[in-house]
Amino acid sequence: MKSLNRQAIALISDHADPAAEIGLEEAGGQNVYVRHVGENLAKLGWQVDMFTRKVNPDDDDIVQHSPYCRTIRLKAGKQSYIPRDKLLEHMPEFVQSFQAFQASQGLHYPLIHTNYWLSAWVGLELQKTSSVQVLHTYHSLGVVKYQSVNQPSIADMRMQIEREILERANCIVATSPQEAEILRSQVSAYGRIEMIPCGTDTSNFRLMSKTDARKQLQLSLQEQIILYVGRFDPRKGIETLVRAFALLKEQSDKKLRLIIVGGSSPHMPDGVERARIEHLVLELGLYEDVMFAGQIGHDILPLYYTSADICVIPSHYEPFGLVAIEAMACGTPVVASDVGGLKFTIIPEQTGLLVPPQDTLAFANGMYRILFDELWARKMRKQASANVNQRFTWGGVAIQLSELYRHILAQSIMHEQSRYFSKPDSKNILNSTLSQRILVNATQVSS
Ligand code: UDP
């Protein structure tokens, strides 16, 4: 829906469709972030259009999430899955489709917020040809990722674009102080960075009765449950968790269960990782103790977090890590790798524990400490939920982003006006008229 009273802005998320089902190889935190940020910005008065690549001819071109928030699926390459490392060549078509859509709607987005490096490329292209303010969120960083995996041929190009967007965007939105620090020290000393975290839906992820949750999921009330939620990707460290679980079992006389939540598709990279993990489970003799729950939606996921005694996040790296705050919001203590955004969201000894990544023994010890100190675990439950409610709600995130957008739009208008007064010509008069319209609309948006 187009509204004359609202300022239209664009969120660009090349591969992560905000309207997609979450939990498969290509669908994770970025999809969740873009959708919730979009929906919450619309509640604050913006008209939010979220753009992604169309991957299935049967999918609708436009999905309306709420009256002023929609996902628009653009044609860019064949309408089927294309691995991210092969997507750059289709981004020029993405730009063309974006411009065609904008023209067809009689719209001009004065501000776009890009997500992931491929969208950053789109933002940099749009910046060359139109008057647009560009903000960017990385979600994943080449300099970090390529420390632990072999560099594909696209690696140099990706890292170059990640540096360029930091230096040329109007602002980078880092989601944790740790991410901001890495950007500064390893990507570029130039460019503006603001830290605004991710959030979670605290009306959905909230304190509930463990007994009720287990009954609803038909899980035993006698077992101690350890939970993993996330994609199947070697960098998520599920192998470390499975091995740590095997060690823990040796130390415990209680009945333990490991539940692994996350989808996978055969013939896709995540299917390969799932098969590897299943094989490991068999090899370690854990077949009866590990349950693969498959892909679970956010409507049911709170029941899993609530049922669990601990949620484990064994990632090699996480720029933020939504699963940590979802689990804590449900009052479930977290044992997580001492990396990236997990250092920021988890308060050690109060809401969970941080241990060295890939350290099987440390993960086993961390889980043991929480499982065998019921009093402490109960205290952590309250602290974990309070931590998230105070610091990480989508409503709070959207307010901070909205403020930043307004500030950046206002700055761009002042910049244009000073150019107009110093060098008047017909083009400046046109720009100035446009910018006044933006200023009026932007100030109508409540903060
Ligand atoms: N997720 C889900 N269902 C699943 C597996 C994962 O809804 O079966 C969601 C999870 O709740 C979280 C997101 O996927 O919101 C994962 O985000 P995170 O930042 O933890 O990891 P990323 O996918 O960005 O690496």
pLDDT digits (tens, 9 = 90+) for 281-298: 999 999 999 999 999 999
Evaluate: CB of 219 within 6 angstroms of ligand 1: no
Sorted by sequence, the CB contacts under 8 Å of residue 191 that are 6+ apart come out as 166, 167, 168, 169, 172
Q: Specify whether the CB–CB gap between 48 and 13 falls below 8 A.
A: no
- Give me the pLDDT at residue 25, please: 55
Region 149-163: what's the mean pLDDT? 92
List, by residue range, all CATH 3.40.50.2000 domains of the chain. 8-199+394-446, 210-389
Mean per-residue pLDDT, 43-70? 97
| Mean pLDDT score, 82-99 | 96
pLDDT at 442: 41
pLDDT at residue 438 above 70? Answer: no
Give the pLDDT confidence score for residue 417 in this predicted structure. 77
Least confident of 27-31, 246-250, 421-425: 421-425
Cβ partners under 8 Å of residue 20, min gap 6: 26, 27, 31
Mean pLDDT value of segment 250-275: 88
Q: Which pLDDT does position 433 carry in this prediction?
A: 41
Instruction: Using pLDDT thresholds of 50, 70 and 90, give the confidence band for residue 4.
Output: low
> Quick one: average pLDDT of 387-403?
97
Question: What pTM does this model have?
Answer: 0.91
Q: Which residues contact 424 (CB under 8 A, 6 or more apart)?
A: none
What mean pLDDT, rounded, does the chain reach? 91
Q: Looking at residues 339-362, what average pLDDT do you find? A: 97
Q: What is the mean pLDDT of residues 304-321?
A: 96
What whole-number percentage of the chain has pLDDT above 90? 82
Q: Would the CB of 388 count as within 6 Å of ligand 1?
A: no
Average pLDDT on 400-411 reads 97
Looking at residue 149, what is its pLDDT?
Answer: 75
Q: From the CA atom positions of the chain, what is the Rg in Å? A: 23
Q: Pick the residue whose CA is nearest to atom 3 on ligand 1.
A: 23
Which residue owns the Cα nearest ligand 1 atom 17? Answer: 29
287 alpha carbon – ligand 1 mean position (Å): 24
Is 261 near ligand 1, meaning CB less than 6 Å away? yes
Residue 189 per-residue DSSP state:
S
How many angstroms is it from 229 CA to the middle of ligand 1? 7
Of 78, 388, 329, 76, whose CA–CA distance to 207 is shortest? 329
Q: Please report, for residues 38, 48, 136, 396, the alpha-carbon distance to residue 30 in angstroms, rounded to integers and kept in the order given.
A: 12, 16, 13, 18
Residue keyed to tokens 């000393």:
189
| 122-131, 183-192, 390-399, 427-436: least confident range | 427-436
Q: What pLDDT, on a 0 to 100 scale, did the predictor assign at position 62?
A: 97
- Distance of CA 140 from the midpoint of ligand 1 (Å): 14
pLDDT above 70 (res 444): no
CB distance 24 to ligand 1 below 6 Å: no
Among 115, 175, 229, 320, residue to substitute to test ligand 1 (most atoms within 8 Å of Cβ): 229
Cα–ligand 1 centroid distance for 440 (angstroms) = 38
> Does domain 210-389 bear CATH number 3.40.50.2000?
yes
Q: Is 421 in a helix, a strand, or coil?
A: helix
pLDDT above 70 for 445: no
The percent of residues in the chain predicted with pLDDT above 70, rounded, is: 92
* Whether the CB of 341 sits within 6 Å of ligand 1: no
With the CA atoms of 371, 375, 378 and 384 taken in that order, what torsion angle do they form, in degrees rounded to the nearest 10?
-80
152 neighbors 160 (Cβ within 8 angstroms): no
How far, in Å, from the CA of 323 to the mean position of ligand 1? 6
CA angle 86, 87, 91 (to 5 degrees): 145
| Model confidence band, residue 421 (pLDDT cutoffs 50, 70, 90) | confident
* Residue of higher predicted confidence among 21 and 56: 56
Q: Is 296 in the pocket of ligand 1 (CB under 6 A)?
A: yes
Alpha-carbon distance of 257 to 220, in angstroms, equals: 10
How far does the centroid of ligand 1 lie from the alpha carbon of residue 347, in Å? Answer: 21
Question: Which residue did the predictor score with more confidence, 305 or 437?
Answer: 305
Which of 102-116, 218-232, 280-294, 417-431 bottoms out in mean pLDDT, i.e. has the lowest?
Answer: 417-431
Model confidence over 191-227: pLDDT tens digits?
Answer: 999 999 999 999 999 999 999 999 999 999 999 999 9
184: which DSSP letter?
I
Class of domain 8-199+394-446: alpha beta
Which atom, in ligand 1's list, is nearest to the CA of 236? 25
- Ligand 1 proximity of 173 Cβ (cutoff 6 Å): no
Does the CB atom of residue 126 touch ligand 1 within 6 A?
A: no
Q: Mean pLDDT throughout 91-112?
A: 96
Does position 106 have pLDDT exceeding 80, yes or no?
Answer: yes
Contact 396/199 with Cβ under 8 angstroms? yes
pLDDT value at residue 390: 96
Amino acid letter, residue 119: S
Which amino acid is it at 51? F
More confident residue, 253 or 315: 315
| DSSP run (H or E) holding 24 | none
